[in-house]
Chains A and B, each alone.
Chain A
Amino acid sequence: MNAWTASPWLMDAINITSFVILIYFSALQLVLFGLLILSYFDMRRRLAQNFYADYEAVAKSHFTFPITVLVPAYNESTGVVDSVRSVLSLDYPQHEVIAINDGSTDDTMERLRREFRLERREVVYRKSLGVTGAIRGIYRSATNPNLTVIDKEHAGKSDALNAGINLSRYPLFCTIDADSLFQENALLRVVRPFLEDPDRVIAVGGQVRVANGCRVERGRVVEPKLPTNILAAFQVVEYLRAFVASRLGLSAMNNLLILSGVFSLFRKDVVIEAGGYRAGVVTEDMELVLRLHRVMRELKRPYAVVFLPDPICWTEVPETLGALARQRSRWYRGLIQTLWLHKSLLWAKRSGSLRWIGFPYYFFFEFMGPIVELVGYILIPIAYFLGILSPVFFWAFLFLSVVSGAFLSISSVFLEELSFGLYRSWGDFAQMIGIAVLENFSYRILTLFFRLGALVDIILGRGGWGKQERAGFGRAKPAPAQL
């Protein structure tokens, strides 16, 4: 007992906060469990659809929508050539590739010029979207007629993507990061919702997997393997959990607010109508999807934003603490900024289910999660010093949190095995199960602090994008990506 314990208001405050945290934790677990169940059924439906889908017919069909693939690159000299080559060799009836060099200070442009024998061209194009960075030149490849490269001054990824949209010819466009690789039939798979429901579907996202550790040959992942780097291995399970167990469930309710910028397909006319990518935002992909939701609901048009688990794109993830910290900080700042920009979705009548499901999910669990968790960590020593912490309850609650976290991760690994089974070796499988348990004591807490760091940065008015390092595929080291 000490003087503080005598203070009833403090005791009340601690009890009430603990109770709120307990309610929050229970609600979070229930929601995640619900999403997992939804994901399971949606996954089963998608797999059955795939079984009966005739991708050969789609590939040969004269009625498959042509696609423009946009590859924005800023200082991506190590990965850009592989990425462009991977996209050019995709199995698809009609697609063009537009790589946009966003004023790189390294030799990205030189590599592209040399590798694809680029020739400068005078090209007249429609300026549907405003572009800030001046276009220095437009190049066509002498070896690949469907490759165009835009060389422009640096003005950010949004600006680069808008420039690519302006130059694109086709009604659908797909974005891919310059450090990512498509699975061979990824475009055929990702376009399916557009073929089935062309009037309603406005955006489709594919699944992003971790490329680190995989065997890559000529721009293709030929053997998926777990990386030896522990940070990257943690992210394999994390990506599975995010994509397989959560986005699939939100997509089933048409409440998905994030489509990864690494691999998404959009209807161009709708994106242009919504104003294209917004400059000056941290996560332009999430902002665009949220804006599309908002515009479509304001216009009272039926629409769907779909996530598909089977079109797969491989991306490099950070392997160093610094790169990971920068990446997570950027994502968290982007989340806060985007939610703030579109906060009116919470009260606007036309928001429909977004008001009750999508927006609150991202607000309470994605944004508030680290804050609530931090409060929990702060309360523990306080309660201990006040002598009101029950060790049994503490350990039981900690164990409960670890077990429920492990359950979600193991379920995601299970869903992966059930659907794709890409990691064939028993070693990789056992490692993923191990990581699913271990991450709750280590990686999860680590990323929590990265996100809290971002929050502190916002409060103190600090920011910046962080420098990104790339190692290139099939070579050694790390690189941040967008989940």
Chain B
Amino acid sequence: MIRFETLIGTLALLLCIVAVTTIAAIANKVYTGREADSKRRFLDLLRRSFLKLRSPEGQREAMPVIVRSMRGRWSELAAQEISQLELPLRLDVLHALEEAGIMARLLRDAKGRLKWNRAHALQILGELKLPMSIPTLLSALEDKDADVRNVAARSLGRMKLQAAEEALIALLGKHDQAVSARIAAICIEMGPRTAPLLIKTLRDGGTKARFWAARILGEIGDPRAIRSMSESLTDPDADARSAATWAIGNIGDRSSASIVAPLLQDEVWYVRAHAAEALGKIGDASFTTALAEALRDQSWWVRRNALEALVRLGEASKPALMSALESEDRFARDSAVEALTSLGVTAIAPRREGA
């Protein structure tokens, strides 16, 4: 059996651990309580230093404080504050940081061994928006760690520099879903100025790049993309085809309805589903009969999107829906009832089963 001394020893050890844990919890509570004050004092000091930057004497006094702030535990906060400065003052600060070796250290840390150090450095580089850090940030998109890749993409997005835009678009579709989605979101934020590059990608890019380019152009809603997009409707890759269909619908150009309608017959269900959705968004009532036909599609999503498209088209789709009430397909009849009810038609008598 167990020896008494062993039991008492274990007990004593556990008691010590409990005591240490409790003390640590209390210390942490005290520390957290003071952290907010410490952060406020740090920001006050930094902002006072910024106010002094306008005169040469003030600069001499303020720069060491600012440089020091970039070395401490609140360096990310300091970088955020610096990014808010007016351009001339920001350039002065960045120059001082470069002279103090901060930039070199950040660039070095961004390629360091510890992942959170790399993330920390990349985050600050993104805030400081220095063009010299773009190659480092781009190479960090290839980092082995997903968290670091995400921070790099986010930082590139924050920079909003033209050089970063081009590089980002060149990287479309070359990464995992999370980073690609982040890059795409950044491109959307940049707006129509990225459209020419994206249109070029739509024509010449790889399969995934074409997919993402179509998605972004659709979100941006730039009508200049319609021509290239209509060429993508015959893309051999179904993802690229569906993205282009969806994008045309999102742009909502009336003249493009006739090029989208044939895709209701596409062999891939999600292309057909996007085509139905797009026709509803474009708002051209010429294809209500084709949409009513799609209510009988073998894919549920195509049928659902066709129904919603018909509701969206409003009054114009009523004749096609009335015909659908006579369909042999039960789903088509039920969908017609749902759509007509949504359009305010109350007295509906669909064909009965077996009639």
B14 interface neighbour in A22, A195, A196, A404, Cβ under 8 Å: A404
B147 and A52: CB pair below 8 A?
yes
A417 and B28: CB pair below 8 A?
yes
A392 proximity list for chain B (CB < 8 A):
4
- Closest residue of chain A to B11 (Cβ to Cβ) is A400
B2 and A22: CB pair below 8 A?
yes
A410 and B334: CB pair below 8 A?
no
B181 and A396: CB pair below 8 A?
no
B116 and A61: CB pair below 8 A?
no
B91 within 8 A of A: no
A407 and B21: CB pair below 8 A?
yes
Question: Contacts A52-B119, A195-B178, A393-B4; is A426 near B18 (CB within 8 Å)?
Answer: no
A400 proximity list for chain B (CB < 8 A):
7, 10-11, 14
Instruction: Name the prevailing secondary structure of the B interface residues.
Output: helix
B177 proximity list for chain A (CB < 8 A):
195-199
B8 within 8 A of A: yes
Q: Which of A402-443 contact B (CB under 8 A)?
A: 403-404, 406-407, 410-411, 413-414, 417-418, 421, 426, 429, 433
Q: How far is the CA of A197 from the CA of B335 in the complex (A)?
A: 36
B307 within 8 A of A: yes
- Closest residue of chain B to A62 (Cβ to Cβ) is B219
B151 within 8 A of A: yes
Question: Contacts A392-B4, A414-B21, A417-B29; is A195 near B181 (CB within 8 Å)?
Answer: yes
Q: How far is the CA of A54 from the CA of B181 in the complex (A)?
A: 13
A123 within 8 A of B: yes
B18 and A52: CB pair below 8 A?
no
Q: How many residues in A have their beta carbons less than 8 Å from beta carbons of B? A: 44
Q: How far is the CA of A208 from the CA of B335 in the complex (A)?
A: 40
B58 shortest CB reach to chain A, Å: 33
- Closest residue of chain B to A15 (Cβ to Cβ) is B1
A57 and B154: CB pair below 8 A?
yes
B167 within 8 A of A: no
B331 proximity list for chain A (CB < 8 A):
124
B146 within 8 A of A: yes
B188 within 8 A of A: yes
- Closest residue of chain B to A413 (Cβ to Cβ) is B25
Q: How far is the CA of A62 from the CA of B307 in the complex (A)?
A: 24
Q: How far is the CA of A414 from the CA of B304 in the complex (A)?
A: 51
A53 proximity list for chain B (CB < 8 A):
150
Contact bitstring B2-18, A, C-beta under 8 A = 1, else 0: 10100110110011011
B123 within 8 A of A: yes
A475 within 8 A of B: no
Contact bitstring A82-124, B, C-beta under 8 A = 1, else 0: 0000000000000000000000000000000000000001111
B21 proximity list for chain A (CB < 8 A):
407, 410-411, 414
B281 shortest CB reach to chain A, Å: 15
How big is chain B's contact interface, by range?
Answer: 35 or more
A77 shortest CB reach to chain B, Å: 29
Q: How far is the CA of A29 from the CA of B205 in the complex (A)?
A: 57
Contact bitstring A104-148, B, C-beta under 8 A = 1, else 0: 000000000000000001111010000000000000000000000
A410 and B338: CB pair below 8 A?
no
B348 shortest CB reach to chain A, Å: 9
A199 proximity list for chain B (CB < 8 A):
177
A60 and B185: CB pair below 8 A?
yes
B28 proximity list for chain A (CB < 8 A):
414, 417-418
A347 within 8 A of B: no
A57 and B182: CB pair below 8 A?
yes
Q: How far is the CA of A410 from the CA of B26 in the complex (A)?
A: 11
- Closest residue of chain B to A169 (Cβ to Cβ) is B304
B337 within 8 A of A: yes
A303 shortest CB reach to chain B, Å: 16
B215 proximity list for chain A (CB < 8 A):
62-63
A96 shortest CB reach to chain B, Å: 13
A399 within 8 A of B: yes
- Closest residue of chain A to B158 (Cβ to Cβ) is A54
A299 within 8 A of B: no
B32 within 8 A of A: yes
Contact bitstring A380-398, B, C-beta under 8 A = 1, else 0: 0000000000001100110
A426 interface neighbour in B4, B29, B176, Cβ under 8 Å: B29
B14 and A403: CB pair below 8 A?
yes
Q: Which of A47-70 contact B (CB under 8 A)?
A: 48-49, 52-54, 57, 60-63
A421 interface neighbour in B15, B22, B32, B338, Cβ under 8 Å: B32
Q: Which of A158-213 contact B (CB under 8 A)?
A: 169, 195-199
Q: How far is the CA of A213 from the CA of B157 in the complex (A)?
A: 43
B184 within 8 A of A: yes
Q: How far is the CA of A393 from the CA of B215 in the complex (A)?
A: 71
Q: How far is the CA of A255 from the CA of B18 in the complex (A)?
A: 28
Q: How far is the CA of A410 from the CA of B15 in the complex (A)?
A: 12
Q: How far is the CA of A402 from the CA of B140 in the complex (A)?
A: 50
Q: How far is the CA of A19 from the CA of B17 in the complex (A)?
A: 25
B24 within 8 A of A: yes
B307 proximity list for chain A (CB < 8 A):
124
B338 and A124: CB pair below 8 A?
yes
Q: How far is the CA of A232 from the CA of B182 in the complex (A)?
A: 43
B300 within 8 A of A: yes
B14 and A63: CB pair below 8 A?
no
- Closest residue of chain A to B340 (Cβ to Cβ) is A122
B182 shortest CB reach to chain A, Å: 7
Q: How far is the CA of A322 from the CA of B24 in the complex (A)?
A: 37
B2 proximity list for chain A (CB < 8 A):
22
B154 and A63: CB pair below 8 A?
no
Q: Which of B286-330 contact A (CB under 8 A)?
A: 300, 303-304, 307
B308 shortest CB reach to chain A, Å: 10
Question: Contacts A124-B338, A433-B22; is A393 near B29 (CB within 8 Å)?
Answer: no
Q: How far is the CA of A57 from the CA of B182 in the complex (A)?
A: 8
- Closest residue of chain B to A432 (Cβ to Cβ) is B25
A48 and B116: CB pair below 8 A?
yes
B258 within 8 A of A: no
- Closest residue of chain B to A403 (Cβ to Cβ) is B14
Listed by A's residue number, 20 A-B pairs whose Cβ atoms lie within 8 Å are A15-B1, A22-B2, A48-B147, A49-B147, A52-B151, A57-B185, A61-B185, A124-B303, A126-B300, A195-B177, A196-B176, A196-B177, A197-B178, A396-B4, A403-B11, A403-B14, A407-B18, A410-B21, A411-B21, A421-B29
Taking beta carbons and an 8 Å cutoff, which residues of A are in contact with B? 15, 19, 22, 48-49, 52-54, 57, 60-63, 121-124, 126, 169, 195-199, 392-393, 396-397, 399-400, 403-404, 406-407, 410-411, 413-414, 417-418, 421, 426, 429, 433
Taking beta carbons and an 8 Å cutoff, which residues of B are in contact with A? 1-2, 4, 7-8, 10-11, 14-15, 17-18, 21-22, 24-25, 28-29, 32, 116, 119, 123, 146-147, 150-151, 154, 157, 176-178, 181-182, 184-185, 188-189, 215, 219, 300, 303-304, 307, 331, 334-335, 337-338, 341-342
Additional pairs, 14, CB under 8 Å, beyond known A48-B116, A196-B177 = A15-B1, A52-B147, A57-B157, A62-B188, A121-B338, A196-B146, A196-B176, A197-B176, A393-B7, A397-B7, A399-B11, A406-B18, A410-B21, A421-B29
